C-alpha cells in the first residue's frame, strides 16, 4: 500500500511535535523519593508500622 505525501508529512509532523512536547527536565531519584515520603500518607503509615516493629 502506497502512502501519499500528505500522509507522510502528517506522520513526520506528529513525530516532530511529540519529541518537542517532552519535558525538558526530570526529577532525580532522591527528589522523587523525598516527595513520595512527604506526600503519601499510606507510605508514611507503613514506615511508622515498620518503626514500631523494629
Q: pLDDT category, 8, cuts 50, 70, 90?
A: confident
Supply angle C-alpha 21, 22, 27, rounded to 5.
145
Backbone angles phi, psi at 21, to 5 degrees: -75, -10
For the chain, the structural domain boundaries read: 26-54
Contacts of 47 (CB under 8 A, 6+ apart): 37
How far is the C-alpha of 53 from the C-alpha of 40, rounded, in Å? 21
**Which is higher by pLDDT, 21 or 53?**
53
Beta strands in 1-54 (DSSP E): none
Q: Which long-range contacts (CB under 8 A, 24 or more apart) does 11-14 make?
A: none
Q: How much is the pLDDT for 46? A: 92
**pTM of the predicted model as reported, rounded to 2 decimal places:** 0.41
Amino acid at each position: 500500500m502506497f502512502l501519499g505525501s500528505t500522509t507522510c508529512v502528517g506522520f513526520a509532523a506528529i513525530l516532530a511535535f511529540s519529541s518537542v512536547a517532552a519535558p525538558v527536565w526530570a526529577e532525580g531519584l532522591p527528589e522523587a523519593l523525598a516527595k513520595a515520603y512527604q506526600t503519601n500518607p499510606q507510605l508514611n503509615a507503613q514506615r511508622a508500622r515498620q518503626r514500631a516493629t523494629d
